[in-house]
Structure formats: structure tokens, C-alpha cells
Chains A and B, each alone.
Chain A
């Protein structure tokens, strides 16, 4: 009789705390939310309605208009981050990793500090800076003779969302910078020396040698930005309120969810429709992450040193 392997209990024991905590605070609430979205009040009684909430969300002209508006705004919010935050983050990291730069540690810290500030502070400070009444922005533009360019950006439908996205970029540019900076430092000197021997220096060294080596990090940053942006809520809520003015121009999925789920002013909360929106958000993020994991990450070439 072959000797049976003893059951390795210690694996289960060591995993148990993490699994238990993760299940209790992540998995159970997630499924509870998904479940809640399948119910609604029918004549005052909570009953199973299948996908009716989603039919309302996508089929009812008002609900769907709000939803698509929020999704479109959210997409734009993400695009601004991808086009502004990440390239600037990469550029800053490239500058910081340059051996000739003095006071690199100071710049690194200074640029990273906004990231650790609370949204409330960031929203409030920028509102003050951009305030047409007390703000320093109109004064500074006036000093260089560009007063005509000033507009009450946060109050204009055309500019408000982009302004908020740029504020968010200002706050979070430190994160891609740090990640890319770490990736750049991990490139072995041998590789760079070999490149120099072959005459690849300066900018072309960055484009041809370093950039391909940090692409996986850029991929990770993109996906972090995607998840972060589609879950965003705080900055908009702090600076524009739950109604995400002007005229819902800054309404993103997070604020739309908040208004629906918890209610606002005279509007009573509707947990069932709120859960439906949360489910839709979850599926959007899941789809985005899946596209990245299966279509992009598997094709990225990795280099082992």
C-alpha cells in the first residue's frame, strides 16, 4: 500500500485569516450588491425582478441618458489621465533618473506629496485657487497680461470636467512617476553600457532601450489609472457636490451611484437601482481589466536580466 501524503493542514491554517477577512469584507459585499440589483420594491414589498432594474437603467430614456452621460464623462476623465498624467509621469521619471540631476530627492518628494493629501484638501485648495472672486489664478494671469484667458472654469459646462481631471492629474502624477522611476532604476547598467558602446545615447537611448524595458510598468499604470478613474468619486463630490454641476457636466459613475443609492436632498435613496449601477460599474471595470490582462499583457515582451 502506497504511503499517502499527509494532508498539509498548515497551508489551510496559514491561508485562513486572509481568506476569511477578504471574504467578509470584499467577496460577500460584492455578491450581496450583485444580488441586490436583481430585486426591487413591487407595491412596497421587496421582490425578485430579474434584470428589470437593468432594463430601466438602459431602457428608460431618463435613466439611460444619465447613465450614458456619466459613462461618457468618466471615459473623458480617463482619457485626460492617460494623455496627460501618464506621459508626464514617464517624463518626470526619466528626468529624475538622469544621473546629472541635482536635488533629485527633493523634486521626487515635492511631486509625490500631493498624492498623500486628502481629496477634501485638494478639492478645496483648487477651488480657492481657481475662484473668480478670491482666487490667485485670475491675478496671476493678469500679471502676465493674459487676464482675458481666465474663465470661471469650474462653473462652465465646457471646461469643468477637464479642469477637474487636470486637478486629479496634478494630485496623482506622483504615482506613475514613482513606479516608472523604480522600473528605470532596475534596468541593469550593463544593458545601458552596451547601448552606449553601440552608440545609442541620449534621447534615442530612452526611446530604443529604456522605453521597451518599462512597457510592462506602463501597462500596469494604465490599468491602475483605469480602475482608479472609473471608481472615482471624491474629488467631484468635494468640489461640485452630489449633483455634479454645472448641468451634470461633471457627473461620473461614482457620483451617479451615490445620488441614486443614498439619495440626495429630497430624493430618497434607492438601494436597488443603486446596486444596479454599481453592478454596471463593476462589469465595466471587469471588462477593461480583462481586455488588458488577456489581450495586452500576454503580448508584452518581457526581458529577464
Chain B
């Protein structure tokens, strides 16, 4: 009799748990961030599931280089996950236009994001937003604090101070003043031109004016950053022409170079490699008292598969992504990827905190070439890589480079014609 009761009880409990599980919804996230798999599994997803019983989340990333192709074919085949990690600008816009990504303009959490943060995942007229911004990367310069202390250098605030500091490091000779190479080209554009540029073209003002066609790449505001880049040549290491991106990272983390033109995504890697103290400063302004502008580039967001059968649960998750809980979880788990939320976030990593603090002192903008302007042929972003590397190597003058870029842009972009 007892045995039988026990069996019944066991059976009943099995049935009950079965019933409870049947109500659970499982959401699958498509992503290219396979580096972040453990962070999602150990920190982010448990935090969400604890708050939202009944919704299970699976993070299923693919390799970054294959992500766009894999995602497109999965979406076409109808086998894509419920939540889609969004690349910024045209790649995601195309998915939205094809009806693959759902319109999220009316999601409550959208109120937590500024128009700049949403620009990467909105239609050109900003009327519809289709992904919840997750994180941006901020550009600036990381420096070796030991080197600065040994040489008695203060953190430069203006361009003049910046070059004075570089001269001092060069004269001393212990350190290579700045670690950057032109072999891979993109650093010259991303960590060079688009890092220092916003100070000259006044951030969003200049960027939007370029898109509207009221400014040209040959205007002084857009040529001046190239003039500064042309001066960098003398402060780079021997043979910088053949120096690759990993070479530059290693030069800096081995303590052989004093300053590294950086993106904030370097922080966790550098933390693991460098055994000296690091600091960071925002791009020095042209003259003392000028407003400072930083490239706070929207990089990653998350949207909803328009064909998802679990839309309700997916919206719950997306609303949670817009909260400060998620922001602080994510930003602390991945120092260097900063939440785009308006809600304040405290960061434990002092270097990451330094980068994030510039949002209070400087005005944010995104990389000038990313929105709309890289849709045609020649591709402005690729041309900017080439032009920036040429200018740093000294094989093209700033004026010629700007002229070439302007002609290329004007050849297909109507507002610039």
C-alpha cells in the first residue's frame, strides 16, 4: 500500500512538473559574440530567468565572420532564433526592410535610449527602431602610466600638449611614443581618423551635415584630422608600415610603447596582458577650452525575429535588456562594451570607468562613415581606411586624400553632388 502511494505520488509529481515545463517558453538568441558565451550562460541568462520564471533563454552564437551569412540563410529557412543580435546600420536595416526583424518602436524600454544610441538600428528617417541598443565602444588613447610618471608627463588635454608629450617620449628614447601600424589599414581609420576627428567636425553636427550634404569632406573640419594624422608618422615605431594590429597591441602591452590609440574593446585583453598600470585620455582638443567630442560608436543591439512564435516572451526579454540591471551586468562582465542606456551604470574596472566618464564631459557621436555614407561604390569606409593609412605613411597629402574621398562620395551620393 505504502509503495503504491509513493508510486502514485511520484507519478503525479512527474506529471505536474511536466505540465509546468510545458508552459515554459524557450527563447533562442542568435549572436556573433561567441567570446561571450560563458558570460551569457553564467551571468546574464540566470539573472533574467530568476526574474522571469517561465521563460528559458538559450544563447547560440556562431563565428563572427560567418554570422551575417548564417543568419540570413537561417532567417530565409525559418529556422532562426527568436532574438537576433543586430549588427549596426545597413546589415540590420536590410533585414528590417525585408520584414525579417520586427518593429520595436513602441517597446517601453526604447524610452531609455537617446536618438544617437538608436541611430544604428533605425530607419533613415528615425521613425522606426528595430533593435534594442546593447552596447557601444568608445575611442580614445590608452597610455602607460609608469611611462608617463617616469618621464614626468601630464595627461594631454590639447593637441599642443599631446604633441609635446610625444616629443618628450621620443627624445627620451625608452619608449616608442605611439603604437600603431598601417599594415592592416583599419586602425588608421578607426583609431586614427574617427578617433580624433569628432573634435574637429563637432561630432553629430558635422556628421549629420555631411549626410545632409551641407558639408564636404574637403571642408577644413574634415581635412584637419588628416593633418594631425600626417604628423603621427614621426612618433610611430620603426617599420610601422608593416606593423600589424596584433603587433601594435603587443608593443603596448609589453611596455615598449607609451601611448596606444585605442577602442575600449581592448580593455579586457590589455588587463590580461599588461603588468603595468594603464590610464586613458580622450582625444585632445585643438585648442584649450574647446568642447570635446568622442566617438561613442554603437556596435551591438538585439532585435526580434518577426516570425518568432514567442513574441510575447521575446518582448519581455527585450524590455529587460533596456533596464539598468542588464546595463550594469553587461557592462561589468565585458569592460569596454558600454551600455547605451540613459540609466546610470557603475563600472568596477577603473579604466572602463574612465572611458565611460567621458560621456559626461564630452559629447558623443558615432563613426562618420557608418550611417548611409557607405552604401555606394566606392565604399566610403573602405576608402577612408586606405586614405588614412596613406596619409600616415606620408604617400598622400591630407588635401589630396580628402579630395579623393569627396569625389568618390559625390560620384554616387546625391546630396553631395
- Is the beta-carbon distance between B369 and A266 smaller than 8 angstroms? yes
- Is the beta-carbon distance between A132 and B239 smaller than 8 angstroms? yes
- Is the beta-carbon distance between A264 and B90 smaller than 8 angstroms? no
Residue B241 at the A interface, CB < 8 A? yes
Interface of B, helix, strand, loop or mixed by DSSP = loop
Q: Which of A62, A134, A153, A240 contacts B247 (CB 8 A)?
A: A134
Distance in Å: Cβ of A137 to nearest Cβ of chain B: 10
Distance in Å: Cβ of B213 to nearest Cβ of chain A: 20
Complex alpha-carbon distance, A80 and B90, angstroms: 41
Residues of A within 8 A of B395 (CB): 157, 246-247
Q: Which of A133, A138, A157 contacts B251 (CB 8 A)?
A: A133
Number of B residues with CB within 8 Å of any CB on chain A: 36
Residues of B within 8 A of A130 (CB): 242
User: Would you list which residues of chain A between 229 and 256 have a CB under 8 Å from chain B?
Assistant: 240-241, 243, 245-248
- Is the beta-carbon distance between B182 and A131 smaller than 8 angstroms? no
- Is the beta-carbon distance between A266 and B374 smaller than 8 angstroms? yes
Complex alpha-carbon distance, A138 and B182, angstroms: 19
Complex alpha-carbon distance, A246 and B395, angstroms: 10
Residue B389 at the A interface, CB < 8 A? yes
Q: Which of A62, A131, A265, A266 contacts B408 (CB 8 A)?
A: A62
- Is the beta-carbon distance between A155 and B182 smaller than 8 angstroms? yes
A-B Cβ contacts below 8 A, count: 99
Complex alpha-carbon distance, A156 and B247, angstroms: 17
Residues of B within 8 A of A155 (CB): 181-183, 239-243, 393
Distance in Å: Cβ of B224 to nearest Cβ of chain A: 22
- Is the beta-carbon distance between B379 and A267 smaller than 8 angstroms? yes
Distance in Å: Cβ of B218 to nearest Cβ of chain A: 18
Complex alpha-carbon distance, A152 and B395, angstroms: 15
Residue B48 at the A interface, CB < 8 A? no
Q: Which of A63, A132, A241, A264 contacts B242 (CB 8 A)?
A: A132
- Is the beta-carbon distance between A246 and B182 smaller than 8 angstroms? yes
Residues of A within 8 A of B238 (CB): 132-133, 152
- Is the beta-carbon distance between A132 and B411 smaller than 8 angstroms? no
Distance in Å: Cβ of B100 to nearest Cβ of chain A: 16
Complex alpha-carbon distance, A151 and B243, angstroms: 12
Given known contacts A241-B184, A266-B381, A267-B379, A133 and B241 CB-to-CB distance under 8 angstroms? no
B381 (CB) vs chain A CBs: closest residue: A266
Complex alpha-carbon distance, A127 and B246, angstroms: 12
- Is the beta-carbon distance between B390 and A247 smaller than 8 angstroms? yes
Residue A52 at the B interface, CB < 8 A? no
**B380-417 to A contact mask, C-beta < 8 Å, 1/0:** 01100110011001011000000000001001000000
**A4-19 to B contact mask, C-beta < 8 Å, 1/0:** 0000000000000000
User: Would you list which residues of chain A between 34 and 73 have a CB under 8 Å from chain B?
Assistant: 62-63
- Is the beta-carbon distance between B242 and A243 smaller than 8 angstroms? no
Distance in Å: Cβ of A6 to nearest Cβ of chain B: 50
- Is the beta-carbon distance between A133 and B247 smaller than 8 angstroms? yes
Given known contacts A133-B247, A246-B241, A266-B90, A154 and B183 CB-to-CB distance under 8 angstroms? yes
Residue B244 at the A interface, CB < 8 A? yes
Residue A268 at the B interface, CB < 8 A? yes
Q: Which of B241, B243, B251, B411 contacts A156 (CB 8 A)?
A: B241
- Is the beta-carbon distance between B242 and A154 smaller than 8 angstroms? yes
Best-buried of B237, B242, B251 by chain A (most CB within 10 Å): B242
- Is the beta-carbon distance between B379 and A270 smaller than 8 angstroms? no
User: Would you list which residues of chain B between 157 and 204 have a CB under 8 Å from chain A?
Assistant: 181-186
Residue B377 at the A interface, CB < 8 A? yes
Complex alpha-carbon distance, A266 and B384, angstroms: 11
Residues of A within 8 A of B244 (CB): 127
- Is the beta-carbon distance between B374 and A248 smaller than 8 angstroms? no
- Is the beta-carbon distance between B185 and A267 smaller than 8 angstroms? no
- Is the beta-carbon distance between B237 and A245 smaller than 8 angstroms? no
Residue B378 at the A interface, CB < 8 A? yes
User: Would you list which residues of chain A between 156 and 175 have a CB under 8 Å from chain B?
Assistant: 156-157
Complex alpha-carbon distance, A111 and B184, angstroms: 31
A249 (CB) vs chain B CBs: closest residue: B395
Residue B235 at the A interface, CB < 8 A? no
Residue B370 at the A interface, CB < 8 A? yes
- Is the beta-carbon distance between A152 and B379 smaller than 8 angstroms? no
Complex alpha-carbon distance, A192 and B243, angstroms: 54
A-B CB contact pairs (8 Å), 11 listed: A152-B239, A154-B183, A154-B242, A155-B241, A156-B242, A245-B184, A245-B389, A246-B183, A265-B385, A266-B89, A267-B377
The 10 closest A-B pairs by CB, nearest first: A132-B239, A155-B241, A152-B242, A155-B242, A152-B239, A267-B379, A266-B374, A266-B381, A152-B241, A154-B242
Task: Known pairs A132-B238, A155-B182, A245-B184; list 11 more (Cβ under 8 Å).
Answer: A152-B240, A153-B242, A154-B242, A155-B240, A240-B183, A241-B185, A245-B185, A246-B389, A266-B90, A266-B381, A273-B377
Interface residues of A (CB under 8 A from B): 62-63, 127, 130-134, 138, 151-157, 240-241, 243, 245-248, 264-268, 270, 273
